[in-house]
A and B are shown apart, each in its own frame.
Chain A
Amino acid sequence: MVCVLPGLGREKGKEGEERVVASAGKMRKEDTLKLISAEGFEFVVDRKAAMVSQTIRNMLTSPGSFSETEHGEVTFPEISTTILEKICQYFYWSLQYASGKETEFHIEPELTLELMMAANYLHT
């Protein structure tokens, strides 16, 4: 299972798995959210980053106890891993951009269509 976050390296964890460690600062369970792709890849991201997506934001702030908020993980059976990965990258890029750093977000052309559809879905 590979989760990649920008600015971070891949680590070789135990049993050949590569895990991602969060960026600087402690990462508590309450601050994070697990996004699971169609193939079962798990991406652990900051809640703040995830909330860039309006859909995820609504999900988390909705009254009533949906199962996602209970368990802190969201499954996207219709979003592939590559796309989800790109989306996570977008989250962090977006946060950086909002704080002033103007860098370019590169999109591989072959991903475009699916990325747009996913973005539409996630209202990002």
Chain B
Amino acid sequence: MSDQKRRNFQIEAFKHRVVVDPQYADKTWKILEHAIHEIYNHNASGLSFEELYRNAYNMVLHKFGEKLYSGLVLTMTTHLKEISKSVEAAHGGSFLEELNRKWADHNKALQMIRDILMYMDRTFVPSTHKTPVHDLGLNLWRDNVIHSSNIQTRLLNTILELILRERTGEVINRGLMRNIIEMLMDLGSTVYQEDFEKPFLEVSADFYRLESQQYIECCDCGDYLKKAERRLNEEIERVTHYLDAKSESKITNVVEKEMIANHMQRLVHMENSGLVNMLLDDKYEDLGRMYNLFRRVPNGLSTIRDVMTSHVRDTGKQLVTDPERVKDPVEFVQRLLDEKDKYDMIISLAFSNDKTFQNALNSSFEYFINLNARSPEFISLFVDDKLRKGLKDFSEEDVETVLDKVMMLFRYLQEKDVFEKYYKQHLAKRLLSGKTLSDEAERSLVVKLKTECGYQFTCKLEGMFTDMKTSQDTMQGFYASQGAEIGDGPALVVQVLTTGSWPTQPSPPCNLPNELSTLCEMFRSYYLGTHTGRRLSWQTNMGTADIKATFGKGQKHELNVSTYQMCVLMLFNNADRLTYKEIEQATEIPATDLKRCLQSLACVKGKNVLRKEPMSKDIGDNDAFLFHEKFTSKFYKVKIGTVVAQKESEPEKQETRQRVEEDRKPQIEAAIVRIMKSRKVLDHNNIITEVTKQLQSRFLPNPVEIKKRIESLIERDFLERDNADRKSYRYLA
């Protein structure tokens, strides 16, 4: 009551009872004590709230708050001790129920008491820093009931036993469990943790340790993982039903540790059912489960990843070094693609497209593909096969898919320039023999290569396409202007190839038959007439011819042969029998090529338009050849020895490799010069690193080679050795 301005009013007599009665406090307390008893005995209906409230109010007001408070503590404690006894006396099964019931009672009583003593709670308690009534009630409950010596352990054991039973499959009263656990939670997190959670976690750890030990002895990997997953889900469910949510991560950690982390290595490497077997058998579900479970434990995923990587590397290495496989390049590459598809599927279905796994897969593929030095060649052969005939009847999208997959393998190659060389060769053959299935597919692939490696890589390839187109136009022009003069002679189709774009081939001499040589001269003069300053040389080793031949019984066939073969066959227009030497002289075709050409004309069953004496496979210098009158074939058109891209023989391979090495030298030098120009001074190791980095998109340079190039550049005064530091080099402008 604040000070008021004096006014004329009367202050009435103080209506409240003035304390004259010395035993006022005791009497009032007695009333309240009685009330508390009644409340605990479920007899509250007769009581008047207002009266009790007023009494408590008055006690506090008259400074008897202390008495009230301590009296409360005493009374409550007494009651709780009684309750404790009655709970202890409960028999086995009903122990928890009894406890639960008494707890509910206590809560109700506590609330009523608090309401009555609200005034004390509001004013006395804060000012004296005592525990508020509600918390007091909880604490007393905790101290007298829960922590009473007979109840504490019994309670814990009962709860743990029930949980154990539930784990072994029994159904327990979850509602009751929830109430009891919530009681512990209400009593404070320390109570919950100390009196329940800690022991619970320990017991659970023991339980799962034992169980996992049992399972791992008798189950295979997939089964074990199923069981582990089941247990994990069970525990999570248990938490949602009757434990504190904060316990979830703790118990899952326990399960994860005992069931998964402790047995990780053993599971992964399990015989006949471990990770490797799952990978081989495409067991997506099991793999997915393993991924999800292992994800939860430290190092789980890296374990899986490592095993997968080493497995992929091993199988890949076997694949590429298997001599059987190497015999068929197309099969070889197809197998690689199949492997990649398989693992892509596994990663997407079971490992949820985890990027780290994708990366591990990529690095493994990169590792083993480059173990076989012929991989670039094989990939090019695969592409060649597909573009010749493999993509027949494929829809446009399917074509794109196949090409994209090829590009993927291409990316793994370290020696991309080797690939480029082979690809050019094979492309040249395809274009010249007109054997490519789809022009669009070809161009599409070139575009992909350009996107991947830059313009430099593909400009020559594009040059080849341009040449083909230009040649078509040139032919049209030729026939338009010279058509009349050619008349009924053989039809000529010329492809004019720009030397730089196409793979270099020596052009050995070859004598064309007369009918043709005139025609060729006509073309040459026509062409040089329209394009001055150019030089043409005939590439007789790359051409084809279609000849009509009439055999003994008059059967006519159209033979599709190479230019060399045509030259040989045309000789037989004027003679029936020719020796090898004579043929060689007449055509001037180089020996190896001639022998091969004769072999395909005389020794191949079904295509032997010539007969050879003797009938051996090899061509001796003194062999004679006769026109085979009795040649027969089912088909009108007979294809003999088209120039097909083939796996190279050993000497050819060596040759190509040499050429590649030669081509690399200027590239290395260019890189060195580029680097030195910008850095001016650099030491040896750094040069190696930088050069490797610059060139890695094409090939992996050999450090020894780099050193040689540096020496060469020093000789030519592009660089010099630094005087002070022998290992450093300086750029000379």
Tell me the residues in window 88-124 of chain A with beta carbons closer than 8 Å to chain B beta carbons: 109-110, 112-114, 116-117, 121, 123
- Residue in B7, B16, B53, B57 whose CB lies within 8 Å of A109: B7
Are B46 and A78 in touch, CB under 8 angstroms?
A: no
Check B733 for interface membership: any CB of A closer than 8 A.
no
5 further A-B pairs in the complex, CB-CB below 8 A; given A62-B49, A109-B9, A117-B1? A63-B108, A66-B112, A74-B50, A75-B48, A121-B119
9 A-B residue pairings within 8 Å (CB atoms): A58-B115, A61-B115, A66-B112, A68-B49, A68-B50, A74-B50, A114-B15, A117-B16, A123-B122
Q: Mark B106-117, 1 if CB is under 8 A from A, else 0.
A: 001101100100
The range of chain A's interface size is 20 to 34
Interface size on B, residues (CB 8 A): 29
Check B73 for interface membership: any CB of A closer than 8 A.
no
Query: Chain A residue with minimal CB distance to B16?
Result: A78
Check B724 for interface membership: any CB of A closer than 8 A.
no
Taken together as a complex, chains A and B put the C-alpha atoms of A76 and B51 apart, in Å, by 8
Check A59 for interface membership: any CB of B closer than 8 A.
yes
- Residue in B1, B4, B44, B119 whose CB lies within 8 Å of A64: B44
Most chain A beta-carbon contacts within 10 A, residue among B50, B53, B122 = B50
Measured between beta carbons, the chain B residues less than 8 angstroms from A62 are: 49, 111-112, 115
Check A55 for interface membership: any CB of B closer than 8 A.
yes
Measured between beta carbons, the chain A residues less than 8 angstroms from B504 are: none
Are B119 and A59 in touch, CB under 8 angstroms?
A: no
Measured between beta carbons, the chain B residues less than 8 angstroms from A15 are: none
Measured between beta carbons, the chain B residues less than 8 angstroms from A55 are: 53, 118-119
Taken together as a complex, chains A and B put the C-alpha atoms of A113 and B3 apart, in Å, by 10
CB-based closest 9 A-B pairs: A66-B49, A58-B115, A62-B115, A65-B45, A110-B9, A64-B44, A64-B112, A59-B49, A63-B108
Measured between beta carbons, the chain A residues less than 8 angstroms from B54 are: 77-78, 121
Are A110 and B10 in touch, CB under 8 angstroms?
A: yes
Check B11 for interface membership: any CB of A closer than 8 A.
yes
- Residue in B9, B11, B45 whose CB lies within 8 Å of A67: B45
Check B39 for interface membership: any CB of A closer than 8 A.
yes
Taken together as a complex, chains A and B put the C-alpha atoms of A109 and B119 apart, in Å, by 26
Contact (A54, B16) CB under 8 Å given A62-B49, A63-B111, A76-B50: no
Residues of A within 8 A of B (CB): 38, 54-55, 58-59, 61-70, 74-78, 80, 109-110, 112-114, 116-117, 121, 123
| B contact patch SS | helix
Check B371 for interface membership: any CB of A closer than 8 A.
no
Residues of B within 8 A of A (CB): 1, 4, 7, 9-12, 15-17, 39, 44-50, 53-54, 57, 108-109, 111-112, 115, 118-119, 122
Are A112 and B47 in touch, CB under 8 angstroms?
A: no
Are A65 and B119 in touch, CB under 8 angstroms?
A: no
Contact (A54, B49) CB under 8 Å given A62-B112, A110-B10, A113-B11: no
Are A67 and B47 in touch, CB under 8 angstroms?
A: yes
Query: Chain B residue with minimal CB distance to A82?
Result: B12
Taken together as a complex, chains A and B put the C-alpha atoms of A44 and B39 apart, in Å, by 29
Taken together as a complex, chains A and B put the C-alpha atoms of A8 and B319 apart, in Å, by 101
Taken together as a complex, chains A and B put the C-alpha atoms of A109 and B10 apart, in Å, by 10
Measured between beta carbons, the chain B residues less than 8 angstroms from A110 are: 9-11
Taken together as a complex, chains A and B put the C-alpha atoms of A113 and B47 apart, in Å, by 30
Taken together as a complex, chains A and B put the C-alpha atoms of A34 and B271 apart, in Å, by 84
Are A121 and B57 in touch, CB under 8 angstroms?
A: yes
Measured between beta carbons, the chain A residues less than 8 angstroms from B44 are: 64-66
- Residue in B45, B50, B111 whose CB lies within 8 Å of A75: B50
Taken together as a complex, chains A and B put the C-alpha atoms of A83 and B15 apart, in Å, by 12
Query: Chain A residue with minimal CB distance to B11?
Result: A113
Are A67 and B46 in touch, CB under 8 angstroms?
A: yes
Measured between beta carbons, the chain A residues less than 8 angstroms from B39 are: 64
Most chain B beta-carbon contacts within 10 A, residue among A38, A58, A61, A77 = A58
Measured between beta carbons, the chain B residues less than 8 angstroms from A112 are: 1, 4
Taken together as a complex, chains A and B put the C-alpha atoms of A101 and B45 apart, in Å, by 40
Are B16 and A63 in touch, CB under 8 angstroms?
A: no
- Closest Cβ of chain B to A88, distance in Å, is 16
- Residue in A59, A61, A70 whose CB lies within 8 Å of B45: A70
Taken together as a complex, chains A and B put the C-alpha atoms of A63 and B15 apart, in Å, by 32
Are A67 and B49 in touch, CB under 8 angstroms?
A: yes
- Closest Cβ of chain B to A75, distance in Å, is 6
